[in-house]
Amino acid sequence: MSPGATRPGPGPGDPGPTRPIGVFDSGLGGLTVLRSIIDLLPDEPLLYFGDTGRFPYGPKPHDEVRRYALEIADLLVARDAKLLVVACNSATAVALDVLRDRLAIPVLGVIEPGLTAAARATRTGRVGVIGTVGTIASGAYQRAADALAGPIDLTCAACPGFVEFVESGDVHSDQVHVLAERLLAPVRAAEVDTLVLGCTHYPLLARTIGDVMGPDVVLISSADETAFSVRALVEAHGLAAPAGAPTRHGFVTSGDTATFRALGTRFLGPEVDAVEAWSWT
């Protein structure tokens, strides 16, 4: 199948605003961002790619994740995406700059929006960030924090294993809780008052993470902030979809379509109906 084989919205030659917003992640996590975009911008057609066949991205070498991000971006652009949302911290951390350099459409990541929200929320200035091994090792959050106007004291912790639990549909078990107790120990010890969920899969574990961190710690998901940034970008570029037009979303996965549909419906909602299979070979 060629990258341009099907598309959820109108075809080439249609005016920009009616084209879909492309959104991708290594799997289901980016659906947390998609939910926020749908809620804020109900008229926008969205095309989601979940690279479930190649997840997790977190433990993989940065070059490999960068290559995956470029491949997916090419696919979404070939299907007329008018804007690209990298709904994956691991890919944002290592590929955002190269995607912006190479693509002719606006590209948005999830790191800066989430950290900006945390900087607004914190009272003590002590902010935690949890993410995949790749995201934390990249130093991308520390660089983004250094670029902020006010100083914040950042404590970062990698949480290997969280993504695998989410992709298996297990978000509440005792095993997840035990793992969370262990992995969140550094941010608890740092007495952060705000915790950035620096992986788009983690909002699906918010109940467990919230239980472990306690009620006084504010959990920040980048999803809502990213949706606000998407709205600002489509408006700034004159790409906002016309109000009231029928909206259809597309879902493509490189993994098992039935699993994606079942878990996607559970995590996102009824919008996940037909799921198209994609093969990289």
Q: What does the binding site for ligand DGL look like in residue numbers (CB under 6 A)? A: 25-26, 29, 55-58, 88-90, 132, 135, 163, 199-201
Beta carbon of residue 123, minimum distance to ligand DGL (angstroms, whole number):
26
Q: Residue 199 catalytic?
A: yes
Residues in the chain: 281
Beta carbon of residue 59, minimum distance to ligand DGL (angstroms, whole number):
7
- Contact yes or no for 160/134 (Cβ under 8 A): no
- Contact yes or no for 33/226 (Cβ under 8 A): yes
Say which residues have a Cβ less than 8 Å from residue 89's Cβ, sequence separation at least 6: 110, 111, 131, 132, 135, 140, 198, 199, 200, 222
Local structure of 177: helix, strand or coil? helix
137 vs 190, which CB is nearer to ligand DGL? Answer: 137
In angstroms, the CA 246 to CA 183 distance is 44
Selection from 213, 203, 207, 181 nearest residue 89 by Cα: 203
Beta carbon of residue 190, minimum distance to ligand DGL (angstroms, whole number):
21
Give residue 71's identity as a one-letter amino acid code. Answer: E
Element (H, E) at 136: helix 133-138
18 vs 26, which CB is nearer to ligand DGL? Answer: 26
Beta carbon of residue 89, minimum distance to ligand DGL (angstroms, whole number):
4
Catalytic option among 21, 88, 93, 195: 88
49 vs 55, which CB is nearer to ligand DGL? Answer: 55
Q: Residue 156 catalytic?
A: no
In angstroms, the CA 23 to CA 69 distance is 11
Q: Burial of 10 by CB count in 10 Å (0-12 exposed, 13-18 middle, 19+ buried)? A: middle
In angstroms, the CA 259 to CA 275 distance is 10
21 vs 85, which CB is nearer to ligand DGL? Answer: 85
19 vs 55, which CB is nearer to ligand DGL? Answer: 55
Catalytic option among 158, 199, 212, 241: 199
Beta carbon of residue 87, minimum distance to ligand DGL (angstroms, whole number):
7
20 vs 27, which CB is nearer to ligand DGL? Answer: 27
> How many alpha carbons fall within 13 Å on the CB side of residue 221?
22
Q: Left if phi > 0, otherwise alpha if psi is -120 to 50, otherwise beta: which for 21?
A: beta
**Which residues are the active-site residues?**
88, 199
